[in-house]
Amino acid sequence: MEIGASTRLLTLVGDPVAHSLSPVMYNAACRALGLDAVYVALRVPASDVSTVFQALAATGGAGNVTVPHKEAAERSVARKTDVCARAGACNTFWTEDGVLVGDNTDVAGVRGALTTLGASNGGGGGGPWLGGGAGGSARAFTTWASQIGVRAEAAHGPVEVDTAINATPLGLGDRDPLPIEPKDLKGVRTALDLVYTRGGTRWVRTLRERVKDVAVTDGRDVLVQQGAAAFSRFFPGVAAPLEVMRAAVERALRA
């Protein structure tokens, strides 16, 4: 990939960001389509989020936001989509007419991943959902669940549930506790971990070992699905090369 004076810069804003496969995924997409753009990750302390977004607005920036800055990003953009405003969290941004516009494609990511798992209507078959987490991804998930008429509740001990979603960052570290104990998920049929790691997260591995007939995956497909939705914001009218993006993520997770 040649980087020159006209190369468009796309950025991931978060802390931490070293684990993220967004650069691998988006750079593979840009190469496949011959786009003069490069995607990089920026580790930004919480105290500097506002300053960084001011600089991105001044330079025509675009990109994504990850934990723990999605709420701060929502407050930092000049305009926002309806889903971004309702969720109070921004994970995708771009520049229009000199101002930053914020969106939240976590909803598209979760919906796509649940559909891939075989959950009807994107999840749960109409039964209750359980969501672990209180951050931007969790609020986006809860907002969408209410829109499609699914009862979503936070994780508080044993519960009868069709679909369980971990929207906490637990799982990024090897010694993290499980976000939701498998024994507390009575009747669970579908489980989705928004965290992804090489070899799968401990929660995903534990669910596969202890819960019979559960369809479960980590956040790799969420990353790809929300990334494809964000790609259309960065490059209007250009179809995201979904399979290229998915293959790049899978290769990186096998490395």
Tell me the pLDDT tens digit for each residue of 9-29. Answer: 999 999 999 999 999 999 999
Q: Which one, of 75, 53, 70, 133, lies nearest residue 104 by Cα?
A: 70
Q: Give the Å distances, CA to CA, from 160 to 151, 153, 168, 203, 209.
A: 12, 11, 20, 18, 19
Helix (H, G, I), strand (E, B) or coil at 181: coil
pLDDT of 123 above 50: no
Residue 124's pLDDT band, with cuts at 50, 70 and 90, is very low
CA distances for 244 relative to 27, 217, 240, angstroms: 10, 20, 9
Nearest 5°: the CA angle 137, 160, 158 is 80
Q: How far is CA 184 from CA 54, 157, 217, 229, 233, in A?
A: 44, 6, 18, 33, 39
> Where does CATH 3.40.50.10860 sit in the chain?
8-104+223-254
Could you tell me the pLDDT band of residue 125, with boundaries at 50, 70 and 90? Answer: very low
CATH 3.40.50.720 residue window(s) in the chain: 107-218
CATH topology of domain 8-104+223-254: Rossmann fold (3.40.50)
Active site residues: 70
Whether 194 contacts 166, CB under 8 Å? yes
The CATH code of the domain at 107-218 is 3.40.50.720
- pLDDT tens sequence across 22-72: 999 999 999 999 999 999 999 999 999 999 999 999 999 999 999 899 999
pLDDT at 138: 62
Over the stretch 166-175, which tens digit does the pLDDT of each residue have? Answer: 888 888 777 8
Please tell me whether the overall predicted TM-score, pTM, comes out greater than 0.85 for this model. Answer: yes
